[in-house]
Structure 1
Amino acid sequence: MAQDVYGSLWLKAAAMLQTIVLHEPLEARNDFFAWLCAETFLASNAVYMTYAPQDALALVLRIKHKGPDLREVSAQLRAWTNPAP
């Protein structure tokens, strides 16, 4: 009953990011809100990313135009993850 639907933190963050971008729950600034939610979720689980802001924006815009699937988004988030100290 308590089985995870998404097997990793990156998949969970990617699903959250994709869902918010595609369903636009807010009146405005959904792209920014989606990114902030995903990054905050990862940070709250001690996963920190380093990325160029324009690369993050490009990923969000690709999601908005239904480009990458969930696994691709997850892989990109993982690629931006800093190695553990």
Structure 2
Amino acid sequence: RRGLGFDAPDIKNPDSSPTAPEAHPSTIGHLGFTGTCMWIDPSRNLIFIFLANRINPSRDNSAWTDLDIRPTLFSAILSSLRH
């Protein structure tokens, strides 16, 4: 699940993939502890950067994980490009 030292889609187990289900297998990126993420999809000439602060009000904030915010946002971006 690594590519060029970065995270990559988990092709063998898509349900535990760190990125959107629609992500191309060549996509690479990084998920930061504070909520920031970056995905580079060379097949679509796309760079997606999301800056956030998930540790506000505390580092125990589980909403990001519970709501799957970062993959959901990336999925929305990828879906919008298909239309």
Q: Same fold (TM over 0.5)?
A: no
Q: TM-score range by the shorter chain?
A: 0.3 to 0.5
TM-score, normalising length: structure 2: 0.39
* Greater relative contact order (Cα < 8 A, sep 6+): 1
TM-score, normalising length: structure 1: 0.38
